[in-house]
């Protein structure tokens, strides 16, 4: 897990969701509440909610959830951005 200083200050949600899509997540823009997106890991059906604003603290929390659900690390995501 990267530290907060290793993460970008802000990342565009569209870019982040495209990277997750390339790695196997199914991203649904209407599945979340309001302007949130829902990303489902099809192998076990678990989902994460992606907020519209991906600050460092939010991104770190999402990366923790993604790694627990799918085993995909920040390095994998960063390569696909």
Domain ranges of the chain: 4-80
pLDDT for position 32: 64
Q: Residues near 30 by Cβ (< 8 Å), separated by ≥ 6? A: none
Reported pTM: 0.87
Evaluate if residue 39 carries a pLDDT over 80. Answer: yes
The rounded distance, in Å, linking the Cα atoms of 46 and 10 is 25
* Window from 12-16, 22-26, 33-37, 53-57 with minimum mean pLDDT: 33-37
Evaluate if residue 60 carries a pLDDT over 70. Answer: yes
Q: Is 8 helix (H, G, I), strand (E, B) or coil?
A: coil
- pLDDT tens-place string over residues 2-26: 888 888 888 899 999 999 999 999 9
pLDDT for position 52: 86
Total Cβ atoms within 10 A of residue 81: 12
21 and 76 in contact (C-beta within 8 Å)? no
Please tell us whether the domain made up of 4-80 is placed in CATH 3.30.920.30.
yes
């Amino acid at each position: 897990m990267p530290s907060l200083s290793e993460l970008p200050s802000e990342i565009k949600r569209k870019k982040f969701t495209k990277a997750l899509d390339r790695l196997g997540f199914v991203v649904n823009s209407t599945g979340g509440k309001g302007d949130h997106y829902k990303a489902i890991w099809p192998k076990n059906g678990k989902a994460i909610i992606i907020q519209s604003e991906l600050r460092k603290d939010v991104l770190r929390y999402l990366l923790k959830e993604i790694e627990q659900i799918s085993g995909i690390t920040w390095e994998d995501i960063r390569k696909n951005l």
